[in-house]
Chain A
């Protein structure tokens, strides 16, 4: 079945460092891809999305490009802040026009040192 694999955490960086969180997926069709973020004590929030190959999703300085040839959707940010500390989930939806259950990766905990 469809699945998402993302790099294990925790990831600890200093403020203003460059961030990459790797994500690869397996899907039989043409999924939509997402990054969700879970800040401490809060619910999951959609961070960004891409619905077709070569699309770039972006939000709050984060970016991810849908790479069909490598089945990847890596999350990047040029300069992280302490407020970016959270758990990040890569996810896919294999039926964007219908039920759209979301399949999540296991999450990557990110901690940013001041």
Chain B
């Protein structure tokens, strides 16, 4: 079974731009969560989607948004990029059948200049 895939793997943007990252979960998984990883703050939860609905949201500003499609693929968008948004953005999927664990993709490395 293929793992979680994320595109693109690397991205360079400038301040003020917006960016869209994509995540394809493991086949059959319906829950997708997004995390931001930085050296200073570590791994921080952004939001979780299940059946195209956002079920939980972390403490990030409204510039961070996401959505999930009917095939469970998910995108996250960051508008008006700031230097501090430079990070590794990780997507994780789970099937939600009972006691489930999350499996991570390789991440998208975003650099904001």
Tell me whether A and B are bound partners. no
Residues of A within 8 A of B (CB): none
Residues of B within 8 A of A (CB): none
